[in-house]
Chain A
Amino acid sequence: MDYFVELFFSGLTRGSIYALIALGYTMVYGIIGLINFAHGEIYMIGAFTALITSTVLSIFGFPLPAIVILTLLASAIWASAYGFTVEKLAYQPLRNAPRLSPLISAIGMSMFLQNYVLLAQTSDFLPFPALIPDFDFMEPYAGFIGSSDMVILVTTTVVMLLLTWLIKFTRTGKAMRATAQDRKMAMLVGINVDNIISITFVIGSALAAIGGLLIASHIGQINFYIGFIAGIKAFTAAVLGGIGSIPGAVLGSFILGLTESFATGYVSSDYEDVFAFSLLVLILIFRPAGILGKASIEKV
């Protein structure tokens, strides 16, 4: 039983890591129907910004809580700026192009950002400081769940609730939903669609940066390539849960994380990806739009 609980918690940790990134994918898809392949790279840039900021701040001798808060702000703002720019440069000019064009543009952006960081920073792995300390009150449970796992889990839940609130109950959220439903109609009723899309990218990128900081601090190392692998898994999770749906992304991430964890624990970690992707195939056969996704009817 202990073993089951341990595996369950390690699955939850994995799931919440995926969820922090998957939320950004699903938001952008929900609004403009674009799979933003550069999202994983924004996450990576967030992690790099966090590394640089926290290193500089710790040289100046700031206390740890101040470092964490300032680093979080800095990387969220910086990554948002990247997200905003990427959208303006690579996606906005293609707003009315065929659907494949922005997709290709997104893949290009992803490669560009990866190689840009590779050249501007380094190809080596860099150590990432443990910004989340080991809390004393967590010590008795360290065998089950670590402090950073706990923080990631809580953050993911809070972020998901905040996002749901934002979209359901605010004016911006209403405008987002309107844009998602029918962009032309939203424009006609006076919604600045370009602004709404920019806001979506900014929020998604800020979330990715928070994810970058938490995850890098959890695993203790980063390099220019982390965004790609994490991005692919998070994207899978978003599709599993129903891309475009915010609770769906979180649900999909947890299901993916738990599947991988139990597959490792009870079968073999050699097969964790086999189980994860078999599950994806199965779900897509029976629910093509994902678990919580809405089947969309093509307008002719």
Chain B
Amino acid sequence: MKMHHKLLTMITAAALTAGVASGAMAADPIKIGVAGAHSGDLASYGLPTVKAAELVIKDINAKGGINGAKVELLVEDDVCKPEVATNTATKLVSQKVNVVIGHICSGATKAALPIYRDAGVIVMSPSATNPDLTQSGDYPNFYRTIASDDAQARTEVDFAINNLKVKKIAVIHDKGDYGKGLAEFAKKFIEQSGGKAEVVLFEGVTPGAVDYSAVVQKIKRSGAEAVIFGGYHPEASKIVTQIRKKRMKTTFISDDGVKDDTFIKVAGKNAEGVYATGPADVSSNPLTKKYRDKHQKAYKAEPGAFFDNAVAATLALTNALAKAGSTDSAAIAKVLHTQDVATPFGDIRFDKKGDAIGVGFSMYQVKDGKYVQVQ
């Protein structure tokens, strides 16, 4: 009995020593920078990303880190200001971060990116939606796990051209920032379709007007087979109602300002068949659930803005670091582009420009008084 005890002590001691030794032998810790607004007006956009990164990294470290190396988070605040973001980036680079999660705001991200690019650091934002960040080709080191601002317009136009096979499209908007911005992207994409479809009408309507029949007559005269509308549901339901009252069969396609149950309630039977884009529903994804639950447990609160996107970014980066087997940026980039990683948005990889494939908008259609995902 006594012998047994001694043996046990010895084994334990040996194990402990081995543990310490292997720890000492492991590679230097991997440093991941987390940059974004963590104070100020826009802190609520940036803090959920910090929490997401912490929760994911805690799991990874509990399982022994990445290829034996512990992961260390370096959290830096840029208050969403471009002039601060350059300092933040310089500081992270001087601390020799391997990859960066961030920044949060498009303006700050744009200011910081050249510094990371020159240092060869890969950056992945959970929230910067400015289309140029990926599409300009200026920042090959930039990736994101959120759809860019023009993604909705892209989804709408692709759906109209490829699925509905329409040739003549009227683009209508409500003159607001959101609606007009979307409509302009839609117009651009239709014009770039190489003659598959044409914009037969591009107009803004006045929100709140008592009657849209004149613009509806104009749509009719333009011979449009489909209307792409950028704006919100009150105008959408008025326009679609008047289109149907004039007995026109024109397809109505709109955005997530219209993918709202109020639209169906207000437009009633005229809402039937209307298409609208909206973010894909990820709440049933096991990874989404897992990290939302962890957040709930740790902070006793609902996760905030871009939490799922930040979880996805952290998982994608750590996966790439693990699969690449090194902290070399080129090796990490290769994994990001070529291998799928499981995230709250499903299995994703990144396209040539750095946008996540599979993160974005889905097309919904009103069927029997409900929005049903059709694509």
Contact = CB atoms under 8 A, between A and B. Distances in A.
Contacts of B238: 219-221
B210 A215 contact: yes
Nearest to B211: A14
Contacts of A13: 211, 213
A24 B233 CA distance: 30
Contacts of A273: 206
B251 to A, nearest CB: 18
A15 to B, nearest CB: 10
Contacts of B267: 127, 220
A221 B237 contact: yes
Contacts of B265: 127
B214 A127 contact: no
A93 B175 CA distance: 43
Contacts of B18: none
B215 interface: yes
A270 B209 CA distance: 12
A260 B214 contact: yes
B210 A143 contact: no
B263 to A, nearest CB: 9
A137 interface: no
Given A126-B266, A127-B265, A265-B218, A143 B209 contact: no
B210 A14 contact: yes
A11 B209 CA distance: 13
Given A125-B266, A146-B246, A220-B237, A230 B210 contact: yes
Interface string A225-244: 11001100100000000000
A270 B237 contact: no
B211 A218 contact: yes
A7 B203 contact: no
B268 interface: yes
Nearest to B173: A270
Interface in A248-287: 260-262, 264-265, 268-270, 272-273
B89 to A, nearest CB: 42
Contacts of A142: 245-247
Nearest to A266: B218
A3 interface: yes
Contacts of A146: 245-246
Contacts of B206: 269, 272-273
Contacts of A223: 234
B211 A143 contact: no
A265 B217 contact: yes
Interface string A152-186: 00000000000000000000000000000000000
B210 A17 contact: yes
Contacts of B208: 225-226, 229
A220 B266 contact: yes
Contacts of A220: 237-238, 241, 266-268, 270
- Interface centre among B204, B210, B234, B270, by most chain A C-beta atoms within 10 angstroms, is B210
B60 interface: no
Given A125-B262, A127-B265, A127-B268, A10 B203 contact: no
A124 interface: yes
B63 interface: no
A143 B268 contact: no
B209 A229 contact: yes
A268 B218 CA distance: 9
Nearest to A226: B208
Contacts of A230: 210
B5 interface: no
B254 to A, nearest CB: 15
B221 interface: yes
A58 to B, nearest CB: 14
A125 B211 contact: no
A219 B241 contact: yes
A229 B210 CA distance: 8
B151 to A, nearest CB: 26
A1 to B, nearest CB: 12
A218 B237 CA distance: 12
Nearest to B208: A229
A7 B214 contact: yes
B205 interface: yes
Given A142-B247, A219-B241, A261 B210 contact: no
Contacts of A14: 210-211, 213-214
Nearest to B175: A270
Nearest to A9: B213
Given A125-B233, A269-B214, A270-B203, A221 B209 contact: no
Interface string B332-363: 00000000000000000000000000000000
Interface string A118-130: 0000001111000
A241 to B, nearest CB: 18
A270 B204 contact: yes
B213 to A, nearest CB: 4
Contacts of A262: 214
A219 B214 contact: no
Contacts of B175: 270
- Interface centre among B214, B216, B218, B233, by most chain A C-beta atoms within 10 angstroms, is B214
- Interface centre among B208, B238, B270, by most chain A C-beta atoms within 10 angstroms, is B208
B187 to A, nearest CB: 14
18 contacts: A6-B220, A13-B211, A127-B265, A127-B268, A142-B245, A146-B246, A219-B238, A220-B241, A220-B266, A220-B270, A223-B234, A226-B208, A233-B210, A261-B214, A265-B214, A268-B203, A269-B204, A270-B204
Given A127-B265, A220-B266, A272-B206, 7 more contacts: A14-B211, A125-B237, A142-B245, A221-B266, A260-B214, A268-B203, A272-B209
- Counting from the closest, the 4 A-B pairs by CB-CB distance are A10-B213, A264-B214, A229-B208, A261-B214
